Chain A
Amino acid sequence: MTLVGADRVEDDVELREVSKRFGPVLAVDRVSLQVRRGEFFSLLGPSGCGKTTTLRIIGGLEYPTAGEVVLRGQVVTDVPPYRRATNMVFQHLALFPHLAVFENIAFGLRLRGLPSDVIARKVDDVLQLVDLPGFGTREIHQLSGGQKQRVAIARALVNEPAVLLLDEPLGALDLKLRLQMQAELKALQHRVGTTFLYVTHDQGEALTMSDRIAVMNQGRIEQVGTSQEIYARPQTRFVAAFIGEANFLEGRIAASAPDGVLVSVDGLQVRVAGDGSLPVGAPVTVSIRPEHVKLGAAAAGAANRWDGRVQDMTFMGAVVRATVALASGIAVVAEIQNDAAVGLAPGDAVVAGWAPQHTVVLAR
């Protein structure tokens, strides 16, 4: 439901129970979401989870099997792509090889019948914006990968769409260029203020760039939230595992403790922060991020603290990743700073612990 009011930012995009079936494959499964005006919103999920399909439904290139697409308060489910206020940056860019950069970018403007001096000015402005001044006369095959990327973004952005749809636009670039383009894209979005709907399977990319993220899995949305919310408070095991890394301990709710709940995991009583909404005896998964597992003296004050033995250590640069087997046979992975790992070796006895507020309880 879209509420337009003083206390509510208007939604640019809304999906209502949208599904898309390709024969036996349910690519998009009753997806509902709202993207607010001016937001950098990411659709994050593994390959084949339906991100591209969802984006194409919003752009009108795919017709949903069920559900409604709303753009700026208007139902556009039956509106063809060429009459929608959306523009897409395609996964494989789809720049027109027979046109130079200028004409690629001017494509949409020409179709709108704008006078040529206005077109020239707009194209020049957007080339400036994507940091490609004077590239108008270049042929597409004369551009580098990163430059093609910018042209594709410019070609979409110059039409001033209500929403810019970006389908893994940085997927084909090498790591260094990708990081640079991420920063540029975020800055660009900030400058133009256009709503960006960004599809990626790279969690790092989504976390650094997005105002909000929708995590998708098998056609469904698992969770929508800010980067911090998604990372610190995952609501499903899939989200916890897909975003960053996590130790998962399977157990049952044993009792309500003063500051949360007590979960019994293979004989261990793990204190976790929880709201007590789950009944005693309910099967749950406890998730702890490796960087929250402390070893040795650092674990001293932790409410969850057990003796264990270092099984394995991996040097990762700034951090060291240690696998610790607790007495009960459970293994947890700890990510600790390099200097805290000095003097620790596989086979050593060590205390491992973590604070209850760093744990998340997920119903099973």
Chain B
Amino acid sequence: MARADVLPLPQRRAIWRVMARRYAHLPLLAPAVAVSVAVFWACMAVLVVMSVYPFLAAGTPRFTLDAWQRFLVDPFYWGVVGTTLRIGVVVTALSLLIGYPTAYAMSKIRRPGWALACYVVLFAPILVSVVVRTYGWLLLLSQTGAVNYVLRTLGLIGQPIPLIFNTTGIIIAMVHILLPFAVFPILSVVGQLTSDLKEAAMDLGANRWQTFRRVTLPLTLPGVVAAAQIVFTLTISAFVTPFLMGGGKVQILSGLIYRDMEAVNLAFASTVALILLALAMAILAASNVLVRRSYSRAEVLRT
């Protein structure tokens, strides 16, 4: 390009036209870049600074790793990390177990009316506030709620079982709230699967289960991984539902952040926020690596 200025004018113009066409789409990125860079990364920077300069707000800033140290050496906080991850894993697993068959069945619906009805039933709850839905679950799952009533009437249980203010309640409500986020990525992949590959598998001797295991599942795995990542990150970072369903009895990371912010312990809140973020990113990265490794391992076996 250094020689562009010595080129004759028409050629220089042509180069500019090519460049203009090649990069014409870049301005479209601007809003996303603005939001992502300005807001997200600026917040990150603020969080990092606040976690090590606890008195920034008060005046005299002083560098200290107190907040980090307090979190990392206290087994209580590691227990909170454990609870958060456990809820994340269980909610993700249940969402996939329910979401995959749902998506599969929905992709099979041929009548447009039925398909639309399914979409509405599945996705309409997204339009209702999470708080409202969580209160709905509180009513349903309480000691005197409908679920316990039905179970007792059927004679399945003698005493009402505690379904709220514990992890069980959090998990039930979270699975319900996040189910659409599991169904949608899977649906978009399952819908593209044509029947001829399944027929080819059956023709080669695979029964229904083997066809699912060897053809359908591997080909829809990208959708499953995407669903798992979305549900998992949304679960471990959720606040309102775990807060209400847990009733202050279940400690999770987002609850810690809220508690310390209320107590104007901004350094510790920032630290927990960063740790939560790091956990989410680490697990996303790990799942990506695992998926890639499982593909390349299959490749090694093949050769």
**A144 lies within 8 A of chain B by Cβ:** no
Are A108 and B199 closer than 8 Å at their CB atoms? no
Are B299 and A100 closer than 8 Å at their CB atoms? yes
Determine the main DSSP class of B at the interface with A.
helix
**B203 lies within 8 A of chain A by Cβ:** yes
Which residues of chain A are near B202, meaning CB under 8 Å?
Answer: 61, 80-82
Are B204 and A107 closer than 8 Å at their CB atoms? yes
Q: CA of A111 to CA of B203 in the docked complex: distance in angstroms?
A: 11
Contact of A102 among B197, B200, B218, B302 (CB under 8 A): B302
Using an 8 Å CB-CB cutoff, how does the interface string of A42-85 with B read, 1 for contact, 0 for none? Answer: 00000000000000000111000000000000000000111100
Using an 8 Å CB-CB cutoff, how does the interface string of B173-208 with A read, 1 for contact, 0 for none? Answer: 000000000000000000000001101111111110
| 10 nearest CB pairs, A to B | A108-B204, A94-B200, A94-B196, A111-B205, A81-B202, A88-B203, A100-B302, A82-B205, A98-B218, A103-B302
Q: CA of A97 to CA of B299 in the docked complex: distance in angstroms?
A: 13
What is B's interface to A at a CB cutoff of 8 Å? 196-197, 199-207, 210, 214-215, 218-219, 298-299, 302-303
Supplied contacts A81-B203, A90-B199, 8 more A-B pairs, CB within 8 Å: A59-B203, A82-B210, A94-B199, A96-B200, A100-B299, A103-B302, A107-B204, A112-B205
Are B218 and A81 closer than 8 Å at their CB atoms? no
Which residues of chain B are near A96, meaning CB under 8 Å?
Answer: 197, 200-201, 215
**A217 lies within 8 A of chain B by Cβ:** no
Are A159 and B205 closer than 8 Å at their CB atoms? yes
**A186 lies within 8 A of chain B by Cβ:** no
Contact of B204 among A100, A111, A136 (CB under 8 A): A111
21 of the cross-chain contacts (CB-CB < 8 Å) are A61-B203, A82-B202, A83-B205, A87-B203, A88-B200, A90-B199, A94-B200, A96-B200, A98-B215, A98-B218, A99-B302, A100-B302, A103-B302, A107-B201, A108-B204, A108-B205, A111-B204, A111-B205, A111-B210, A112-B205, A159-B205
Which residues of chain B are near A99, meaning CB under 8 Å?
Answer: 302
In the complex, residue of chain B having the shortest beta-carbon distance to the beta carbon of A81: B202
Report the interface size for chain A: residues with CB under 8 A from the other chain. 30
Are B214 and A92 closer than 8 Å at their CB atoms? no
How close is B22's CB to chain A, nearest CB, in angstroms? 27
Q: CA of A88 to CA of B196 in the docked complex: distance in angstroms?
A: 11
Which residues of chain B are near A94, meaning CB under 8 Å?
Answer: 196-197, 199-200
**A309 lies within 8 A of chain B by Cβ:** no
**A86 lies within 8 A of chain B by Cβ:** yes
**A155 lies within 8 A of chain B by Cβ:** yes
Q: CA of A96 to CA of B198 in the docked complex: distance in angstroms?
A: 9
Q: CA of A95 to CA of B207 in the docked complex: distance in angstroms?
A: 18
**A142 lies within 8 A of chain B by Cβ:** no
Q: CA of A90 to CA of B201 in the docked complex: distance in angstroms?
A: 11
**A137 lies within 8 A of chain B by Cβ:** yes
Which residues of chain B are near A100, meaning CB under 8 Å?
Answer: 299, 302-303
Which residues of chain B are near A137, meaning CB under 8 Å?
Answer: 302-303
The residues in A between 82 and 136 inclusive whose CB is less than 8 angstroms from any CB of B are 82-83, 86-88, 90, 92, 94-100, 102-103, 107-108, 111-112, 136
Are A98 and B205 closer than 8 Å at their CB atoms? no
Which residues of chain B are near A60, meaning CB under 8 Å?
Answer: 203
Q: CA of A107 to CA of B210 in the docked complex: distance in angstroms?
A: 11
Given the known interface contacts A111-B205, A111-B206, the answer about A81 and B219 at a Cβ–Cβ threshold of 8 Å is no
How close is A183's CB to chain B, nearest CB, in angstroms? 26
How close is B197's CB to chain A, nearest CB, in angstroms? 5
How close is A260's CB to chain B, nearest CB, in angstroms? 50
Are B303 and A87 closer than 8 Å at their CB atoms? no
Q: CA of A248 to CA of B298 in the docked complex: distance in angstroms?
A: 62
Which residues of chain A are near B219, meaning CB under 8 Å?
Answer: 97-98
How close is A338's CB to chain B, nearest CB, in angstroms? 47
How close is B115's CB to chain A, nearest CB, in angstroms? 21
Which residues of chain B are near A111, meaning CB under 8 Å?
Answer: 204-206, 210
Q: CA of A51 to CA of B284 in the docked complex: distance in angstroms?
A: 50
Q: CA of A88 to CA of B205 in the docked complex: distance in angstroms?
A: 11
How close is A291's CB to chain B, nearest CB, in angstroms? 41
Q: CA of A156 to CA of B206 in the docked complex: distance in angstroms?
A: 13
Which residues of chain A are near B299, meaning CB under 8 Å?
Answer: 100
In the complex, residue of chain A having the shortest beta-carbon distance to the beta carbon of B214: A107
In the complex, residue of chain B having the shortest beta-carbon distance to the beta carbon of A106: B302
How close is B293's CB to chain A, nearest CB, in angstroms? 15
Q: CA of A159 to CA of B206 in the docked complex: distance in angstroms?
A: 13
In the complex, residue of chain A having the shortest beta-carbon distance to the beta carbon of B204: A108
Contact of B303 among A59, A92, A102 (CB under 8 A): A102
Which residues of chain B are near A108, meaning CB under 8 Å?
Answer: 204-205
Are A82 and B207 closer than 8 Å at their CB atoms? yes
Which residues of chain A are near B215, meaning CB under 8 Å?
Answer: 96, 98
How close is B129's CB to chain A, nearest CB, in angstroms? 41
Are B303 and A82 closer than 8 Å at their CB atoms? no
